[in-house]
Amino acid sequence: MAGSGSDRARRRGRAGFGYLWTASAVSSLGDGAYLVAAPLLAAVLTKNPMGVAVVSAAAAAPWFLIGFWSGAVVDRVSRRLVMVTADVVRAIGLVLLALLVATANASITALAITSFLVVAGKTFHDAAGQALVPHVVGRSEDELTRANGRLFAGETVSQTIAGPPLGGAAFGLAPWLPFALDAASFAGSAALLRGVPAPPKPNRPDGQSVAAAVREGFRYLFRSRDLVALALSLAAFNIAFNLASATFVLFAKETLGVTDLGYGLIVTAQAVGAAVAGWFARPVVRWLTTKGAVAAALVVQALGWLAVAVGSSAWIGGGAFMILGMSTTLVTVAAVSARQRIVPDHLLGRVVSAFRLIGNGAAPVGATLGGVVAGLAGLRAPLVLAPIVLALSLALLAGPLLRRSRDLQA
């Protein structure tokens, strides 16, 4: 009887993960369409660069303004309910924007508000989704890396490969259409999530304020040397990646001589590498260990940018970007799986948000630095500086990354 019960639990877990994976892929397809359609609509609504920049700023703001608060909400209510609510609210916002566009009443303000809403919903949706995965597949290293790798692969294919062409084509047919499609993708995601087994509501101390809950998440993160090492490694990865990629489009056109189509193919190569790596993340992390996989991702990224800088060839650039995409998947899957495995369930949402504030919040720093360096020393300079940043980071983090950890052992 015990064996049959265990088999039923595994079947429920596989079915639940199937719903979760499909929901993620469907909503990411709409996200990819929106990523292209939003700037296209901004360009129609205004020719003022500041107006277009406001839309981009509105999309970035939620990660810094409400991102770390989302974890406290995720740790207070049902994670599945948070995801469904985020999808429904975003769908309603996008339907309203589509109606404004269709009736010629859209404005930069409306687009900026919608962009803020879409990304704000994503901060809640992603935190809840990462906290939900262990309930669906369990907390073993193998199952978590397998699940996260496949989730990341599906999201990459939908958002980066399939979504943007869909958004561009839909905008060409009717400017309101990509926003309606994104709304439909969120509605579909919300419906699919109903098939994911609902985990128990997280436990929390009675009377604990949201601010106190957020502080508790940060305290747990900073007390774990392993999590701090992983967060700093991810920050270094993102600083270097954005440093080099911020002005790469200019380097590609002016130095490598690629056309618009060629640049698109290079970016697609990165997405293909990321998606392929997602399906093979489990054996790689098992072989290298979590910290070894993170260190390897830093090394691979450094080699990729060096190849682009030295090779001065579009073909080498495309191959290097495929490897860069693989390194992105590897570091992401390793870090996410480690968090899910070692952080207590009642703290997982808050630790995810705090971790991402450190790891992902460094990306704009890298992009800004890349623009400054390119302006001062030329377009090749960021491609050379990024590997130097990664080498220095590895030197500083070598001790924590090489130290054996009982928590991170399978």
Digit-coded pLDDT (tens) for 102-119: 999 999 899 999 999 998
Same-fold call for 2-192 versus 210-402: yes
Q: What is the pLDDT of residues 187-223, one digit of tens each?
A: 999 999 998 887 777 766 666 787 888 888 899 999 9
Does residue 367 register a pLDDT over 90?
no
**What's the CA gap between 139 and 136, in Å, rounded?**
9
* Residue 21 pLDDT > 80: yes
Q: Which CATH homologous superfamily contains domain 2-192?
A: MFS general substrate transporter like domains (1.20.1250.20)
Task: Give me the pLDDT at residue 314, please.
Answer: 83
Query: What mean pLDDT is reported for the chain?
Result: 86
At residue 363, the pLDDT reads 78
Q: Provide the pLDDT for residue 22.
A: 94
Q: What is the pLDDT of residue 346?
A: 86
pLDDT of residue 10: 60
In which band, very low, low, confident or very high, does the pLDDT at 84 lie, cut at 50, 70 and 90? very high
55 against 12, higher pLDDT: 55
Confidence at residue 407, expressed as pLDDT on a 0 to 100 scale: 57
Number of neighbours of residue 301 by Cβ within 10 angstroms: 27
Query: Domain 210-402 maps to which CATH number in 3.40.1800.10, 1.20.1250.20, 3.40.50.150, 1.10.645.10?
Result: 1.20.1250.20
- Residue 49: the pLDDT is 66
Residue 13: pLDDT band with limits 50, 70, 90: low
pLDDT > 90 fraction of the chain, expressed in percent and rounded: 39
Q: What residues does each domain of the chain span?
A: 2-192, 210-402
The whole-number average pLDDT for the span 161-166 is: 87
CA dihedral of residues 137, 139, 142, 146 (deg, nearest 10): 40
Answer with the residue of higher pLDDT: 110 or 67.
110
Mean pLDDT within 128-145: 88
For the cut 70, the answer to whether the pLDDT of residue 4 exceeds it is no
Per-residue pLDDT tens for 264-316? 788 888 889 999 998 888 899 989 888 999 999 999 999 999 999 988 788 88
Pairwise CA distance, residues 228 & 183, whole Å: 37
| Whether pLDDT at 406 is above 60 | no
CA 295, CA 282: separation in Å to the nearest integer?
Answer: 16
Are the C-beta atoms of residues 346 and 203 closer than 8 Å to each other? Answer: yes
φ/ψ of 176, rounded to 5, equals -80, -20
* pLDDT score recorded for residue 410: 44
Q: Which tokens belong to 326?
A: 């693989």
Residue type, 369: L
CA distances for 53 relative to 118, 167, 210, 319, 392, angstroms: 17, 20, 32, 32, 33
